[in-house]
Amino acid sequence: MSDFESFYRGNVQLVYAMAFTRLRDQWQAEDIVQETFLRAWQHFEALSGAEPPAQRAWLLQTMRNLATDAWRRQAAFPSHALPACLPAGASRADLRMDVMNALAQLDERDREMVIMRYLQGMTSREIGEALGVPEGSVRRRLSECRQVLAESLEQWAPTGAAAAVPQPAAEGRGACGAERRGSVL
The full set of domain ranges for the chain reads 3-76, 82-155
User: Cβ–Cβ contacts within 10 Å for residue 115, how many?
Assistant: 14
What is the predicted pLDDT for the residue at 165? 42
Distance CA 99, CA 111 (A): 12
Overall average pLDDT of the 155-167 stretch: 54
pLDDT tens per residue, range 19-73: 887 887 888 899 999 999 999 999 999 999 999 889 989 999 999 999 888 888 7
CATH code for residues 82-155: 1.10.10.10
Strands 179-180 and 172-173: antiparallel
CA–CA separation, 69 and 103 (whole Å) = 24
172 — pLDDT class (breaks 50, 70, 90): very low
- Dihedral sign for Cα 110, 111, 116, 117, please: positive
Alpha-carbon distance 116 to 31, whole Å? 19
Question: What is the reported pLDDT for 1?
Answer: 75
Q: What is the pLDDT of residues 97-140, one digit of tens each?
A: 888 888 888 888 898 888 888 877 888 998 888 888 999 999 99
The model carries a pTM of: 0.46
Of 155, 164, 144, the residue nearest 95 (C-alpha): 155
Indicate the CATH number for domain 3-76. 1.10.1740
